[in-house]
Every structure is written in C-alpha cells, then in structure tokens.
Amino acid sequence: MNNDELDKCSETVQNVLKEHERKEKEITELLIATKAILKSNDFRITARQVFDSCAKVIGAKSGYVALLSDDGQENELLFLEDGGMPCSVNPALPMPIRGLREEAYRSGKVVFDNNFMKSEWVKFMPKGHMSLRNVLFSPLNIDNKTVGIMGFACKDGDFTENDAKLAAAFGDYAAIALQNSKNLEELNASNITKDRFFSIVAHDLKSPFSSLLFLSEILEKESKKTKNEKIIEYSSLLYQTLTKTFDYLNNLLDWSRLQTNRIEYSPSWFKLSDLTKEITSVLLLQAQNKKISFRLNVPDKLEIFADKNMIKTVLINLVSNAIKYSYPKGEVCISSVQKTKGILVRVEDNGIGISSANIEKLFRIEQSFATPGTENESGTGLGLILCQEFIKKHNGQIGVESELKKGSTFWFNLPTIENN
Ligand code: ADP
C-alpha cells in the first residue's frame, strides 16, 4: 500500500469513527431524555431535559420550548435558552403563531432555515432580537394536533435532514411527556374529587346513622317487654342490620381517610386484654345469635404500644369475620403471645375455612373478594384490606392460615418499639 492509499484508508477509518461517535452521542441523549420522561411527571423538568439533549445532538446553541395558548393564537413560553447571546426582547411579550413557526404548526413537521436573516420570515422578528444564523422548529404533536413547539437556533454549521429527523424524535418525546403530565393532572383532579365526595357522603351519613343505631338498640331492649314475638324478632333484626351497616360505614370512612392521609398514627401504651374484652362485649349479641362462644387467651399484664383505634378496628373486623364464617355453636379464640421481636395476635375460628386459591385473593384491593357468611351474612371485602393498611402503619404484618371446613386463623404481629 503506498502513502496515498494509506492516507485514504486512515481518512475512511477516521470518518467511520466520527460517525460512530456521533451515533453514540445521539443514542446517549435519546436515552437520557427517555429516562427523564419515565422519572418525572412534571412537564417543565422533562421538557428542559428533552430540549437540552436535542440541542446537544443537533448542535444548536439557543432555543426555547413553548406551548400553544388555549385560544390557539400564540405560543406561551415555557423557558428560553439564549445560549449566552445578547437579546433585548422581553420574553414575556406575546408570541403570535406566524412565520416559519406557523409552518411547523400547520404541517406538524420539523422545519428549518439555514439562512434565516435573509429569509422571508425575518420580517416577523421583533426589534432587538439577537441575530439568528439558522433556526429549526420541532412541533409537539398530540393526537395529530400540534400543541407546542421546540425552537432551536444558532448552530455553527447548517441544520441537516438528519438533525430534522432527530429533532422530530425529541419533539415526539416532549409530546409524550406533555400528554403524561396532562393525564396525571386529570387523574389527580378526579381522584381528589372522588375522595372528597366519598368522605363527605360517609361523614354525613355517620351521625344520622348513629342516632338510628341508638334508637334501634333501645327498641330492641324495650321490645322484649312487649312479649310480642314478631316485634321482638323485627327489632332485633333491625338492630343487627344497622350495627353491621354502621360497621361497614365506619370501615369506608376509615378507608377514605387513609387514602387521603387524614388518619394519623398515634400510638400509646394500653392493655391488649382490656381491648379484647371491650370488643367481645360489643360483638356479644352477634356471637350469641349463632351460639358462638369466645375464648380469650390474652395475658392480663401484656401492654402494647400501638394506635388503639387502629388495633380496635382490626380486631373488630377479624373477630366479626370469625363469627360470620363460623358454624353455629362454634368457638372463636383470641390469643396473643409476646415474642422476642414483638407481639403476635391470633383470631382463630373453627368455621368454614378458606381454600388456598381464595387465600391468594385476600388483602388485595384490585380483587374485591367477598363471600357470604354461614347464615348468609353479606360481605364487602373491605375489612381485611383496611386491617392490612392499619397493621402496615405499625410496620407489622398480617396473614392467615386456613383449611376448608376446619377453620381459619388470622394473625398479625406488631414489632416492639425498638424495631418500629
Ligand atoms: P367481608 O367480611 O366484609 O366480606 P373482609 O375483607 O373482612 O370482607 O373479608 C374478605 C373475605 O375473606 C370474606 O368475604 C371471606 O370470603 C373471607 N374471610 C374473611 N375472614 C374469614 C374467616 N374467618 N373464615 C372464612 N373466610 C373468611
């Protein structure tokens, strides 16, 4: 190989290496922009990253990102990068859609001009604007409509078709980011409305419901004096139905409060045995109706540090489930033991049990799994989910062991404060 041939060969190699380097830079910047889209739902942050990456690969020094105003008449500037060049135009001035930018909006495609100061568009440039050697506009298209634009300018050389292709890809990225942030905004707004509606309904139902419950309790007691079987039966039914519905309403209210972070975890020391006694007395009538007995095995001296209201809700749910899914004359046992790492509480029944396939469906909001009780009591599938949320607030765990037709043991543990 002579020297000329060697030079040519080395030149080709250099060109291939340069091309390789360029491609590598393009891929790196595309990846950086992709990450930005995945990481942030804030369009301002993502748009800046997408703009910077695009400017880097196409070699532009200045530019901006703007969105179309609601009336579709002008650009609303999101940010401007002057690339350190002097420009005395106030960025707050309106940016009507005209000139080369209008072309990009109309066609939905990238447009560029490498001799901008001599182009027909220059007449639209406001006074005091920095001189622009060249410009390139990349539209942000959502559902075939251009809703914003990325403008680039002042490349040292000329913008090329390859730059246009890349800018179109980055424009699509920015459009995806914009769509994502709009979707999220809508989702948040509808979520807030739903939460508000839900908590207002639950809250406003609670006080008339408490009065109804109170009255039905008096009625249930008084009815016994009448010795009228029908009145006694209906009053008892009314009282029980209202009690269950009230429990459900409380669960719903707690759930909505949890979702909107309106339930504060406020732990204190209390005796678990006192709480279990309180709960079994509240649920006594429910148990007596099915001739179910309670067995309590909670050491009197066992004190726990936990949020009493949350643990009360958990136990009410677990114990009333144990009654609901027990056969008549069954037994429900509540026990607890102190372990090295915390305490373990178990609510055990010898009722209908749960198949292993159905166990998989428990504690999952998306499954909404519920079956009727042994006396056809209705279920909502919300109780266990709520229990799980409350136990999680204590850094504890909740679970179940069960065998069909033999019974179930729901358990939860609460770590000692050192682990909390
Ligand atoms: P609900 O009891 O209102 O249906 P839960 O979330 O408390 O809602 O329970 C979900 C489902 O788990 C119940 O419908 C039932 O199928 C099952 N389950 C819960 N506790 C027991 C239990 N002790 N024995 C058998 N099945 C149970």
Instruction: Indicate which CATH number applies to the domain containing 358.
Output: 3.30.565.10
126: in domain: yes
Q: Choose among 73, 50, 67, 44: nearest CA to 147.
A: 67
Last residue of a domain, one of 183, 209, 239: 183
Last residue of a domain, one of 150, 183, 216: 183
pLDDT at site 255: 81
Task: Judge whether residue 87 has pLDDT over 80.
Answer: no
The average pLDDT across 53-81 equals 93
pLDDT at site 73: 87
Q: How far is the CA of 371 from the centre of ligand 1 (A)?
A: 7
Q: Are residues 179 and 278 in the same domain?
A: no
Up-side HSE of residue 187: CA atoms within 13 Å toward CB? 7
pLDDT at site 420: 42
Confidence of residue 418 (pLDDT cuts 50, 70, 90): low
**Strand 293-297 versus strand 95-96 pairing type:** unpaired
Q: Are residues 274 and 408 in the same domain?
A: yes
Helix (H, G, I), strand (E, B) or coil at 380: coil
Q: Write the DSSP assignment of 337-393 as a string of letters.
A: EEETTEEEEEEEE-SS---HHHHTTTT-TTT------TT-----S-HHHHHHHHHHH
Contact in structure between 326 and 350 (CB atoms under 8 Å): yes
Nearest CA to ligand 1 atom 14: 370
pLDDT in tens, 300-350: 999 999 999 999 999 999 999 999 999 999 999 999 999 888 999 999 999
**Strand 145-153 versus strand 407-415 pairing type:** unpaired
220: in domain: no
8: in domain: no
Confidence of residue 229 (pLDDT cuts 50, 70, 90): very high
Higher-scoring residue by pLDDT: 255, 31: 31
- Name the percent of the chain lying above pLDDT 90: 60
Task: Judge whether residue 233 has pLDDT over 60.
Answer: yes
Q: Residue 107: which residues within 8 A CB-CB, separation 6 or more?
A: 139
Query: Which of the residue ranges 93-102, 142-151, 234-243 has the most confident prediction, judged by mean pLDDT?
Result: 142-151
* Distance (Å, whole) CA 32 – CA 347: 52
The average pLDDT across 352-371 equals 90
Task: Judge whether residue 225 has pLDDT over 70.
Answer: yes
Range of the domain at 160: 42-183
Q: Are residues 284 and 385 in the same domain?
A: yes
pLDDT at site 393: 93
The average pLDDT across 31-44 equals 90
Nearest CA to ligand 1 atom 23: 322
Q: How far is the CA of 256 from the centre of ligand 1 (A)?
A: 20
Nearest CA to ligand 1 atom 8: 381
pLDDT in tens, 170-189: 999 999 999 999 999 999 88
237: in domain: no
Q: Choose among 112, 194, 185: nearest CA to 151.
A: 112
Q: From the CA of 380, give the closest atom in ligand 1.
A: 3
Q: Which of 321, 349, 362, 382 to mutate to test the pocket of ligand 1 (most atoms within 8 A of CB)?
A: 321
The average pLDDT across 265-292 equals 93
120: in domain: yes
- Give the torsion through C-alpha atoms of 129, 131, 133, 137, to 10 deg: 0
Q: How far is the CA of 294 from the centre of ligand 1 (A)?
A: 19
Domains identified in the chain, total number:
2
Up-side HSE of residue 370: CA atoms within 13 Å toward CB? 16
Q: Are residues 278 and 379 in the same domain?
A: yes
pLDDT at site 419: 39
Q: How far is the CA of 281 from the centre of ligand 1 (A)?
A: 21
118: in domain: yes
Contact in structure between 371 and 379 (CB atoms under 8 Å): yes
Among the listed ranges 162-166, 244-248, 290-294, which one has the minimum average pLDDT value? Answer: 244-248
Q: How far is the CA of 297 from the centre of ligand 1 (A)?
A: 23
Q: How far is the CA of 380 from the centre of ligand 1 (A)?
A: 8
Nearest CA to ligand 1 atom 9: 381
Q: Are residues 274 and 152 in the same domain?
A: no
- Name the percent of the chain lying above pLDDT 70: 99
The average pLDDT across 195-205 equals 77
pLDDT at site 320: 93
Last residue of a domain, one of 141, 160, 183: 183
364: in domain: yes
CATH code of 138's domain:
3.30.450.40
Task: Judge whether residue 361 has pLDDT over 50.
Answer: yes
State both tokens at 398.
């909740």
The average pLDDT across 130-153 equals 93
Contact in structure between 291 and 327 (CB atoms under 8 Å): no
pLDDT in tens, 344-357: 999 999 999 999 99
> Pocket residues for ligand 1 (CB within 6 Å)?
317, 321-322, 325, 349, 351-352, 354, 362, 369-371, 379-384, 408
Whole-number mean pLDDT of the chain?
A: 90
Q: Which of 324, 375, 389 to mutate to test the pocket of ligand 1 (most atoms within 8 A of CB)?
A: 324
Q: Which of 318, 384, 411 to mutate to test the pocket of ligand 1 (most atoms within 8 A of CB)?
A: 384
226: in domain: no
Backbone angles phi, psi at 410, to 5 degrees: -95, 135
Q: How far is the CA of 376 from the centre of ligand 1 (A)?
A: 12
Q: Are residues 55 and 155 in the same domain?
A: yes
